[in-house]
Amino acid sequence: MDKIFYNGVITTVDPAYPSVSALCIKGGIIMHLGSDEEMLAYASEGTELVNLEGKFMYPGFIDSHIHLMLDAARDRYLDLTACESYAEFAGLIADEAARVRESGGDWVLGTGFNQDFWSDIKRIPSRLDLDEICSDLPIYLERACGHTAAHNTKALEILGLMEEKEGETKYDMLFLEDGTPQGQLFEGDAGLATAKQPCPDVEEFKQWIKKKTADYAALGLVAIHSDDINIIKAGEDLEPQMQAFEEAAAEGLMSLKVYEQCRFWQPAAIKEFAKKYPRGSTFGTKFETASIKLMADGSLGAHSAVLRDGYLNDPGAEGVLIFSAD
C-alpha cells in the first residue's frame, strides 16, 4: 500500500462499515477500510503510515456555489467586505480614489460591501452619495451578493445612462425623486461597467485558474461547482475561458476539479454552446461542463429578488424578474 491512515474516526457512509479507524490507499484510491490491526497488516516497505491521533478524517469537501473567474477578477478591486459603517466605507473609497489618481488609473473599483452590516446608514449609496466622495473618477462598487452595483455620476455618464427615464428605460435601474438615475443597477445590468475593463486573454485566465484552484485546495476543497461563463465580460469571455480551462487542465495547473455551471441569457446562445460543449464535456479529469445556469431573479440583500408581497423595509421594491414564463 502507498499510504495507511490509522487510529482515527472515519465515517464511511457504508452501512456495512459505518465507522472504522483505519484505511489503506494505493494509486490514489481507497482500497480497504477496517480496524487498525487489519489495515496495518497491509503495510510493506515504503508504505507511509499516518497516525490520525484519534481525530476525525473527512472526505475532501466540494463547494456547490463558487465564481472562480469573478473571484480572481475581484482580487484587483478594493475589498469592502469588512466595513462596519458607511463612514468607514466612504473613507476607504476616498483613499482608493487618491491611489487611482496618483497611479494614473481610470476607475475606482470596489466589491463586497453590505449595507445591512453598517452601524450608521443602512442603505446602498446613491450616485449623489458617491459624488460627495469622488466626482472626477468613475466609481463602480459591487454589493456582496453581486446582484447590484452602485455608481457615481461620472460612471453613469461614461455608460451613457444619465439620460435614462423611469418607465422608458430598458435597464434594471433606480431613479431619484427628480427623475434622474439614482446610480444603482441590478442583475445583468449591474456589470455594465465591467465591459469598460479589458477582457483578459487566455494566458491571464490560466493564471487566474492556477491561483484560485490552489487557494481553494488549501482550504480542503477537492472540487467546486463554479459559475464563470459570461460573467467577466458577457459575450467576450466564453471561448478564451474555455480554452484557458482546457490548457490549464492539460498543463497540470489545476489543483482541484471544476464542474462548470454555464450561464446564458439567450436560448440561442445555449444551443450554440451545447453543440460544441455538450453536457459532460471534459478536459482531462479536472474540468467538466456540468449544467446550464439560469438566474430567474435577484437577491434579497439587493432587493432584486421577486417577492409576492414586496419588501417590508422597502415598500417600493418589487424585485427584478429576468425571464418571462416563455
Q: In terms of DSSP H, where are the helices of 219-321?
A: 238-250, 267-276
What is the residue-wise DSSP string for 132-157?
HH-SSS-EEEEETTSSEEEE-HHHHH
Q: Could you read off the pLDDT of 1-47 as tens digits, one per residue?
A: 999 999 999 998 888 889 999 999 999 899 999 999 999 999 999 99
DSSP state of 249: H
Q: Could you read off the pLDDT of 46-82 as tens digits, one per residue?
A: 999 999 999 999 888 999 999 999 899 888 899 999 9
Q: What residues contact residue 302 under an 8 Å CB cut-off, 6+ apart?
A: 124, 143, 145, 147, 148, 186
Q: Could you read off the pLDDT of 85-118 as tens digits, one per residue?
A: 999 999 999 999 999 999 999 999 999 999 999 9
Nearest to 112, CA basis, from 83, 75, 80, 140: 80
pTM, two decimal places: 0.71
- Per-residue burial over 264-274, b if 16 or more Cβ lie within 10 Å, else e, is beeeebeeebe
d(CA 130, CA 133): 5
